[in-house]
Every structure is written in C-alpha cells, then in structure tokens.
Structure 1
Amino acid sequence: MTFEQLTILAILAATVAMFLWGRWRHDMVAMGALLACVLTGLVPLDAAFAGFGHPAVITVACVLILSHGLHDSGAVDALTRAVIPTRSGPTLTVAALTGLAALLSGFMNNVGALALLMPVAMQVASRQSLPPGKVLMPLAFGSILGGMTTLVGTPPNLIVSGFREQAGLSGFGMFDFTPVGLAVAAGGVAFVALIGWRFVPTRERAGVETFETAAYLTEARIPEDSKADGMTLLALELELEQAGAQIVGLVRNEVRVTAPSASRRVRAGDILVIEAEAEALAEALSGLGLKLEASKRPPSDGEEAGPADGKADAAEPDSRKGASAGKARNDLTASAAQATAGAHPEEPEDKKRDKGRTDEIALIELAVLPGAAITGRSASDIELRTRHGINLLALSRQGRRSTARLRTMPILAGDVLLMQGPPETLLQFASWAGCVPLAERALRIPSRRRAITASAIMALSIAVAAFGLLSAAVSFAAGVLASMVFRTVPPRQVYEAVDWTVIVLLAALIPVAGAMEATGAADLIARFLLDAVARGDPVIALVLVLVVTMTLSDLMNNAATAAVMCPIALGAAAQLGAHPDSFLMAVAIGASCSFLTPIGHQNNTLILGPGGFRFGDYWRLGLPLEILVVAISVPMLRLVWPF
C-alpha cells in the first residue's frame, strides 16, 4: 500500500466519522476533506474546486429550481389528484408515489423523475400530516430502483454495457437489464412502501413554514371556466373539506348572503367567502379553479379588468393603459408594480407610481399592533391598491368572524393580514401602518398559464436529456433560463430555491472521490476482499462484487464506482472461468443501489435539505433495503445470467 493510498483512506475514514458524529454541518465536513486532500497533494491545486463545475452539481441545482417552479405555479396539483387516492392512508400514498417514481425512472433520467414528483411528495406529506422525509426518502429510493430496469435508466448501466463491448462482446440491449432489475425494483418498492417508510427518522425542516396563525377569511370569485360553476354549495363544501377549508358566505351581485342554503347553486361571477389555513388556500383555489377576489385587477381608462390567475410577473408601464383585455397580464396585481414603495397616502399619484416600479412581488404576513394607524379602517379606506400598490388577500382574526366584505372589513389590533406587493413596498407600508412582518409566505396561487408553462419547460428539459440531445446539466440549465424568461420562477427566487449546503457538499466530495480512484485505493480494497474472502468460489465472488460495488457506491459517484468495478468483475470472471455477464450485471445492480448515504446518488442529495435529514439518517431504511437487494438479485443473476 502506497503513502497516497494510506492518506486518502485516512481522510475518507475521518470524513465518514465526522459525518456520522453530526457535530459539524455536512458541507463544512466535506470542505474540510477537500482541503485535506489539496494540502496533502492528492488533489491538484488547479482542480480543487472543479467539482463546482461538475455536471452532477449543476444538474442538482437546476433540478431544485425547476422543481420550485412546478410547485409554486400549482402544476403539481392536478398530478397529485390523479395519482394519489383522495382518501387514502399513508401506506397507499407512499406506495403510489414510490411505484410511479420507479416506473418513470426506467425511461427517463431518474434525477428528472424525482424532480417531477418531489413537489407532489411535499403536498402528500402535508395532507397526511407526515414529516416530508417520510415521503421523500421512499420516493428517492424508488426512483433509484427504477433506474436499473433499462439501459438508459441510469449512467452505470451504460458504463457496464461499454465495458462489455470493450471485452469483445456486444453491448447490452435496452431491456437486457429488465429481468433482474425489474425483480429487484419490484421487491424494493414493495418493501419501502409497505414497511420501510416507517424506518425513516422523523425530521422537521426549520424555517417560516413552522409559523402558525388562525384560519384566514378570504374571498374567491368563480370564473367562467371554473369547475365550481353550477355546483351546489353542499357539493362545494365537500370538495373544500378535503383541503381543510369551509364556505362561510356567498356574495352575488355585491349582496352578501351569510347563511346560504346548501342546495343553492353557484354560478360564474359569484364570490365565495372561504375560511382556510394559509397552507390550504392554494389547494382550495386550484381544486375548483377559483380566483382570489382581491387579485382582480382594477380597470384603467380604456381597459377592461382582467382576472388574475397567478403571482404578478412584471410591471406594466403606464403607456400600456390602452391595451385590450386580451393582452392584459394574468397577474394577481399588475397594478401593484405601478404604485409607490411605501408612499404616504397624501402623496401625488404620479410621484408614487414612479417610485414604486418593480417586477418582484412577494406575499407576507403582517400583524396589526395595538394603536396602529390602520386600526378601525378598511382596505378601501386606506386605498391599499390605488395609493400603496399592494393587495390584502386574506385576513386572520382569531376567534371572531365578520359579516363584512373583505375590502370593507375594519382592521382590528391583533389581526394578521396576508398582503401582496413589491417587497420594499410591503415593508415600508408595515412601518407606516404600525404592523409587524411575521413571515414571508411561499403560498402557491394557482395559475393555469404558469402551470402549463412550468410543466412544458420541465417536460422538454427531461425529454432533451433522455434522448441524448444534450447532457442533463445543459438541458436542465436551459430549462432554468427558460423559467426565468417566462417567469415561472421569478429571478428573485432562483437562488432562494437552491439548497447551497447540498451543493457545497456534492461539489467538495467529487474531487475527493476522484482522488480515491486515482490513487488506486478503491481498486485495492475491492481486490483484497475478492482474494481474501472468495477463495475461488464463484457464488461468493459474485456476492462480493455486488456488496463491494454497493459499498463503494455509497461513498463515491455511482458512475465512477461502475468504472472502477467493471475491470475487477471481468478479471474475477476470467480467473474463475465464469461468464462475465453475471459479474457485470452485479456491478450494474450494486452501482445503482446507493442507499446508505446522501452522497452516493444525486437523488439522495436532492432530498437532504427538503427532508431535513442528517448524514446518518439514510442507513435506517437503506441498510435493510440493500440486504433485500442482495437477497433478490443473487438468485436472479444466477437464473438469468448463469455462470
């Protein structure tokens, strides 16, 4: 054993120990390992930070951003309702998501499959009152399992096929991996869905999502093409009950009915007064195709008011006041961008508009302090929209319910207001009005236009990568750029959507894994185990190839693991006089089974932040799953690919 091999193994052992200890944040430990490799000469100075430009790192960052766009636009709502039974329990919902992830991963990049379903998993977790990780880890593992079923499902399969061709045999076909891979995937998905998800440790994400207020009272208009048009109030209440919302009033022709009959049919143009938690507003709106009444744009001279169906995308210049209704933006409030950034009510209109131009819109909760300037006044009295350029979307009043319209309801001390507008305008208004900002809400206001655009961008990005027209990193990066151009992800939120601790972790460990391969340490470990333990038995050698590949894949990039283990597998088959296919297939299965750490596979890394996981959380479900994989794959390998 050389000095370089001893050094990299010592650094790797210390890194894993620090990860498992959990005293330091995982990105700090990873950066420490990288610097140790640089200082000892194992990683060249000019390659120290090459990991930050690695395609895997770019892919992870871009997928996080695209997933954010799908989530916020409401694009996943329809998919959630189609895939997940409405009244199913946690076991059935986890089974449906995990199975769908495995199916998609067989024919598309498994990172893309996870990105498509991650927002759905977050919604399901919320609906089932489960920690996000209880759904995210089974979803990630299902997407990894599904990748081993076809040639294009995962990069290690392509690498194994290439080594078979270099050995003088033809490459594997598209479905040569299916018999063994499908058996392993089916067994793994069944275990994860029925039993394994309970092994996932309970973790909660810290942040503003944990802030709670009482239910909001808000108004939603029924548009012409709404599912609610023509339904009875009883039917509507049954639909809203699933989202944790209820109807407390009806407004028709500007007349409010406080206790409408359950048999009354609603029609387009009616306004429903809905009481719901902040997180339930999006589901209540999207499920029935409703529009927030506060988001309806006031008409300007020569222009009709247009309905809103999403967050405001950009400022609309005054010169466009004469545009037709068909060209009006479908924003929650385009007029918010024309108003003043916290202007005083007595300031002239033109001055306020010039000061307040912005194309960034935020949602924020404001608590009304005792003695606030707006106490006893309504949104109409304050002229929130025309003078301040902001909207009151909903109001939370604990223990009390008003019969007044939202825009005419007097604001009282202790109320919590859900406001929308330019961030600077909202903060300046809070200071002037005597309110305290509580939390910026990531509330999804459903928008059909944005949802369709976000879905099309994601689908196109996945298709381009799946068909090999562009690499995954380039394809997803182009998708991010398109998302910014079409504003499915506002530019201000692009960098907020990325979990940078995960990016640093992955980027720092890629050169470390490269040093392990370059020094021959990985090859040394694998050969030692084969020579010392197998002792000429082909079955034991096959099991060792599989287990060693799985172990290395938990610590290294799975493609690098396949590249290291394929020559060893071919050599072992030659020494034992066995056919190489069974050993190469063992490498393909093992390289795809990275379930013990968050760094073995990009999908494990993707769920690290959203699931609130620690480095040592993965083995609790991953270890029994890897044991099951060995138990299923070894007999199947001997049956389908005999020696």
Structure 2
Amino acid sequence: MSIEQIFVLALLFVVFLSFVKEYYPPEVIALGATAALVATSIIDVREFLSVFSSGAPITIAMMFILSASLERTGVLSLLGEGLKKYAKGSFLRVMFLMMFGAMIASAFMNNTPVVILMTPIVISVASSVGVSPSRLLIPLSFSAIFGGTLTLVGTSTNILVSGIAVQSGLPEISMFEMTLPGLIFAAVGMVYMFFAGRYLLPDRTSLANLLSEGSKKKFMARVLVPSHSKYLDKKLHELPFNTPHSRILDVIRGEVSLRGKLDTLQLQSGDRIVIKTDTSEILGMKEDGGVEFADKSSQDIELVTSEQTITMEASVGPQSHLRGKTLDELNLRRQYGIYVMAIHRNDKNLSDKMNNVRLQFADTLLLDGPIDGIERLVKEGSVINLSTPSERPIRRSKAPIAIITMVSVMVLAAFNVMNIAGLALIGAVIVMLTRCIDPEEAFDVIDWRILFLIFGMLGISIGMTNTGAAKLIVESIISSIGTASPLVILAIVYILTSLLTEMISNNAVAVLLGPIVISLAIQLGYDPRPFIIAVMFAASASFATPIGYQTNTFVYNAGGYKFKDFIKVGLPLNVIFAGLAVIVIPLFFPF
C-alpha cells in the first residue's frame, strides 16, 4: 500500500468521522477534504475543476427551481386543501390521504419542500381529528421518501446516482426506469405503516405546547427603572411582578441586551425591563410606581408602551439566513421586536444556552413578539411557520405553465430527446421567464449546500481513483466475500449503503459508494445496473434515524420526537426494504 493510498484512506476515515460527529457542516468537510487532495497534488486543479462540469449538480439545481415553481403556483397547496376537505374527523382517512398525496407530489418534485410545505397543514389537521401531530409527521416524511424513489427527479440522490453511472461509462438512468420496483417498495411501505407502523407512532407534545403560558391574552411591555425606583440593586427574582404568570424576557441597559445575565443581574437606574404578562399585571405595575411607562398619565392599557404579541412555533428552513448564526449575531429583538423563548433540537431543549447556539436547519424555535414582526420574519423565508400554514400570494393562473413544463421535462427525458440536465435547464428558464416564480426567489430556493457537498465528494472520488484506493477497497471486498452469489453481494451493498445513510448525508454515501460498487460488479463479471440501483434505493430510503434524510430531520424537531421514535418505527421498515430489494431489484435488473 502506497503512501498516497494510506493518506486517501485516512482522509476518508476523517471525513466519515467528521460527518458523524458534525464538527463542521458536511459540505465544508467534503470541500476541505478535496482541498487537502489538491494541496498534496493527489488531484490537480484541472481534475478538480472537472467536477463542475458534471451534469448531476446542474440538474439538481434546476429541479429545485422547477419544484419551487409548482409550489409558488399553488399546485402543492391543492393537496393541503384536499386533505382538510376530506379529513372528516377520521385519523385513518387523514393518514391515507396525506401519505398518498405526499407520495405522488414527491415523485414529481423534490420531496423536501413537499414535507416542509405540508407540515403546518398536517399539524392543523391533526388537531381537527383529535390526535397529536407526532402521529402524522413521521408518516408524512416516510411517504415523501417513498415518492422520491418513483422517478429520476423525485430526489437529488437519484439524479446524482445517474450522473455517477454516466461518469463510469454506463448508460444514464432514465426517468421512469426505477418506477415499477419503486411502486412495489412504496406499496409495501404504505401497507406496513397502516397495519403495523401506525401502532408504533408516539404521542409527543410539541415545543409550543410544552411551553405554553395558557390561553389568557398576553402583552409584551417595556418599562423603565427610574432613578428613584425602589427596585434599584434588586435581582429579578425579588421583583413582585416576576410571577409564574409573567415572564421577564430581557433587560436592556443602554443599547445592550443583558438577557444572558438575567439570573445574577442587579437593576440599575435607566434599565428597561421587557416583560410578557397580562393586562391586570400591567395595570398593577403602573399603580406600584416602581417602574415607569412611556405615558404615565394614561390609564388605557392600549396607550402604554405595550403591544399585543403572539407565541408561534417555527422551524429554521433550508435556505434561511439564520443558519449558522447565534441569537446575539442575529439581534432579532432590534430588527423585528421578536424574542426567541426556546430552541429545540434533536429532542433537547437548548433554552439554557440559547445566545451561544448556532442555529441549524430544522431547529424549532418558540418565538414571541408582535404580529407584524413575526409576519415579516416568515415572509422573508427566515423561518417556516409550524403553527399555521403561511399565507403568501399564489400565482394560480400560472399553474398550467408550471405543470406543463414539469411534465414536458419528464416525458422528453423519458424518450431520450435530450439529456435531463439540458431539459431541466430549459424548463427552469421557462418558469422564470413566464413568472411562475421570480428569478430572485428561484435562485434563493437552490440548496447550494447540497451542490457543494456533491462537488466535494466528487473530488474525493477522483482522489480515490487516482491513487488506486478505490481499487484496493474493491479487491479487499472481493477477497472477503469469496464466491458469494450475486444476491448476497446485492444484499451487502444495500445494507451497507442503508447503514451509512442513517449516519451521514445520503448524497455523500451515493457519491462515495457508487463508483466502488460499479467497479466491484465489473470485476466480478456482473452487470453493474442492479448494484447501482440498490445504492440508489438504499441511499434514498432512510427511515431508522432522523439524521439520514432531510425530511426526517425536519419533522423530527417539528413533531417533538425522540431519537428512539425513528428507530422504533423506521428500523423494521429498513429491514423489510432490505429483504425486498434482494427479491425485487433482480426481477427488473438481471445480473
């Protein structure tokens, strides 16, 4: 084994460990590894630049735009409206309609926005049928995953695997090549969820329910500590109006928020206290005289320095500008008048150290503030409203254009009229020119993190090929499996891909294992097609953890789930799909 091979394999181990430990975002880790390969001349700059000519990332970017055009023109909202209309108080009816609708939608557009858009609708419908949202959000995510396996454009992983096949000298995977086996997987998955999975679904309480302060109308008041106040040098817990029915959100001294020091803070002259409480408490504070309002002469609660506020549960979206920043850096109080009362991530409440937490995709936030401030935050796309479906202008008159464009791209790709990358590019330009979606919004919806993760992993793949590390891995596998039948090898490929996908990014796993699996099949004298299809299905069908797939990550926090909930419901489904893969894939893709 050469020094270069040792270096690449060690680097691969570091990348994998970093993915699992989440030291940095996965796209940064992948690009960092590629940078190391370029710095050591294992791959030269020209080779690295070749990854940007790959058709798969371009196709994925354009499909983000096409999917967003379907959302913007109200095509997806029709599913939500139908779900509400036909729910009629039946949990099973809601579950079936929701899963079937999400599956169909996810076959024709990226499944992550399907789940993001349907989550507040599902939460709303859940209350109407008398069940916890946690009884419906895992089925929503799983059904979107089922749908993503039905067509080439259902998930970015499918497009990526097709690109890997082409790079390896194989024919590209066509639009509906995986549809028939995908329908079998989806049908079995639906049957499992209805006859077994639904009994394993937990009843969880969301963050907003856990921290609810009751139904009594609350106000947020800003009061001044004057120089003659009897509360000077007092700690907050000593204040008579700091009761279980009130909540001190902040103390502002000058222009500095002292929120992180509320436990030990002693009040000084000129401090402004921000408190959330009810009308009677505010009137009592005015009579007490220890603090001052802006208008001391007024007895009308609407004229004092207070405003009606709402408490809303929201999630950090995939394109949110909040990602990677702390609350101190964002200063939502100054920009929007909003306070973050709690942060929920991975079954943990991070409220004790909120100001230092760097927000991540799918973090659930409990926001409190004026209606207009929260509405601005939602409209800007910074957060996704989980309490109610967000209202936004829908261009329904453009819906036929968006539908015809998407269908045309899929049909023309199925008949090999043009490469899917070219068709997706043309389709994306059409929906922008016809204003199905504004160009500014179109480029915002592209998840650049996924694209740069792919570029980084493609660079690692080149490094493994150049040094012979990929060949070394293949030879090691061949020597260990000996004369195993192709069915056994297929099972190993599927299970290995599935296990890795539960721990790290599904796209990273596809790029990493795709070339290795193709080389393995060729050296053993088998058609690589069934094995690369197994990688595609296993990398998409991630059910046993909330971190293996974006839709699972999103509903994980939105539904207030625990990690074990996904293991309990999803692990049996992973096992069923692994057994099904060994039976179904060879029927459609012989060895």
**Normalised-by-shorter TM-score class:** 0.5 to 0.7
Correspondence 1:142 to 2:90: no
AA partner of residue 378 (structure 2): A
Q: 1:414 aligns with which of 303, 306, 316?
A: 306
Equivalence for 2:79 = 79
Equivalence for 1:6 = 6
Q: 1:461 aligns with which of 406, 412, 436?
A: 406
**CA distance in structure 1 between the partners assigned to 2:391 and 2:69 by the alignment:** 12
Deviation at 1:460, TM superposition (A): 0.8
Q: Map 1:471-486; keep pairs closer than 5 Å.
A: 471-478=419-426, 480-482=428-430, 484-486=432-434
Change (3 A) 1:133 1:462: farther
**CA distance in structure 2 between the partners assigned to 1:428 and 1:541 by the alignment:** 57
Q: Map 1:56-71; keep pairs closer than 5 Å.
A: 56-68=56-68, 70-71=70-71
CA contact (8 A) 1:163 1:566 kept: no
1:421-471 deviations in whole A, cap 9, x for unaligned? xxxxxx9999xxxx99733143554656x1331563255135324422555
AA partner of residue 145 (structure 1): T
Deviation at 1:20, TM superposition (A): 1.4
AA partner of residue 373 (structure 2): L
1:224-282 deviations in whole A, cap 9, x for unaligned? xxxxxxxxxxxxxxxxxxxxxxxxxxxxxxxxxxxxxxxxxxxxxxxxxxxxxxxxxxx
Correspondence 1:565 to 2:501: no
**CA distance in structure 1 between the partners assigned to 2:398 and 2:531 by the alignment:** 41
Equivalence for 2:472 = 524
Change (3 A) 1:147 1:518: farther
Q: Map 1:55-454; keep pairs closer than 5 Å.
A: 55-68=55-68, 70-71=70-71, 74-82=74-82, 85-87=86-88, 93=94, 95-100=96-101, 102-103=103-104, 111-112=109-110, 119-121=117-119, 123-125=121-123, 127-128=125-126, 130=133, 134=138, 137-147=141-151, 154=158, 180-191=181-192, 371=294, 414-416=306-308, 438-439=373-374, 440-442=376-378, 444-445=390-391, 447=393, 450-454=395-399
1:165-206 deviations in whole A, cap 9, x for unaligned? 989xxx999988666544333223444576669789999999
CA contact (8 A) 1:57 1:503 kept: yes
Where do 5+ consecutive residues of structure 2 fail to align? 127-131, 219-291, 311-333, 338-369, 380-389
CA contact (8 A) 1:37 1:43 kept: yes
**CA distance in structure 2 between the partners assigned to 1:596 and 1:200 by the alignment:** 21
CA contact (8 A) 1:49 1:507 kept: no
CA contact (8 A) 1:549 1:561 kept: yes
What's the Cα RMSD here?
Answer: 5.8
Deviation at 1:142, TM superposition (A): 1.1
Equivalence for 1:251 = none
Deviation at 1:485, TM superposition (A): 4.7
The residue matched to 2:29 in structure 1 has which SS?
Answer: helix
The residue matched to 2:78 in structure 1 has which SS?
Answer: helix
1:450-502 deviations in whole A, cap 9, x for unaligned? 13315632551353244225555555555555555555545554555455544
Deviation at 1:15, TM superposition (A): 1.5
The residue matched to 1:438 in structure 2 has which SS?
Answer: helix
CA contact (8 A) 1:63 1:476 kept: yes
**CA distance in structure 2 between the partners assigned to 1:53 and 1:203 by the alignment:** 47
Change (3 A) 1:545 1:476: closer
CA contact (8 A) 2:454 2:508 kept: no
**CA distance in structure 2 between the partners assigned to 1:202 and 1:47 by the alignment:** 50
**CA distance in structure 2 between the partners assigned to 1:203 and 1:175 by the alignment:** 40
1:345-367 deviations in whole A, cap 9, x for unaligned? xxxxxxxxxxxxxxxxxxxxxxx
AA partner of residue 585 (structure 1): P
Change (3 A) 1:630 1:83: same
The residue matched to 1:43 in structure 2 has which SS?
Answer: coil
Deviation at 1:80, TM superposition (A): 1.7
**CA distance in structure 2 between the partners assigned to 1:542 and 1:429 by the alignment:** 54
**CA distance in structure 1 between the partners assigned to 2:550 and 2:110 by the alignment:** 13
**CA distance in structure 1 between the partners assigned to 2:377 and 2:494 by the alignment:** 47
Q: Which region of structure 1 is more displaced relative to structure 2, 37-46 or 542-551?
A: 542-551
Change (3 A) 1:478 1:642: closer
Q: 1:515 aligns with which of 441, 463, 470?
A: 463
CA contact (8 A) 2:153 2:175 kept: no
Equivalence for 2:481 = 533
Equivalenced residue count is: 425
**CA distance in structure 1 between the partners assigned to 2:401 and 2:573 by the alignment:** 35
AA partner of residue 146 (structure 2): G
AA partner of residue 42 (structure 1): I
Larger Rg: 1
**CA distance in structure 2 between the partners assigned to 1:619 and 1:411 by the alignment:** 50
CA contact (8 A) 1:502 1:606 kept: no
CA contact (8 A) 2:68 2:437 kept: yes
Equivalence for 1:25 = 25
CA contact (8 A) 1:530 1:544 kept: no
CA contact (8 A) 2:56 2:163 kept: no
Change (3 A) 1:204 1:49: farther
CA contact (8 A) 1:370 1:413 kept: yes
AA partner of residue 406 (structure 2): S
Change (3 A) 1:116 1:180: closer
**CA distance in structure 2 between the partners assigned to 1:74 and 1:103 by the alignment:** 15
1:58-89 deviations in whole A, cap 9, x for unaligned? 44444445555554554433222335642467
Deviation at 1:8, TM superposition (A): 2.4
Deviation at 1:594, TM superposition (A): 0.3
TM-score by length of 1: 0.49
Where do 5+ consecutive residues of structure 1 fail to align? 217-368, 378-396, 398-409, 419-426, 575-579
**CA distance in structure 1 between the partners assigned to 2:571 and 2:66 by the alignment:** 31
Change (3 A) 1:542 1:41: same
The residue matched to 1:543 in structure 2 has which SS?
Answer: helix
**CA distance in structure 1 between the partners assigned to 2:420 and 2:205 by the alignment:** 30
The residue matched to 1:33 in structure 2 has which SS?
Answer: helix
Change (3 A) 1:611 1:147: farther
CA contact (8 A) 1:180 1:636 kept: yes
**CA distance in structure 2 between the partners assigned to 1:522 and 1:594 by the alignment:** 19
CA contact (8 A) 2:432 2:438 kept: yes
CA contact (8 A) 1:74 1:447 kept: no
CA contact (8 A) 1:517 1:564 kept: no
CA contact (8 A) 1:73 1:488 kept: yes
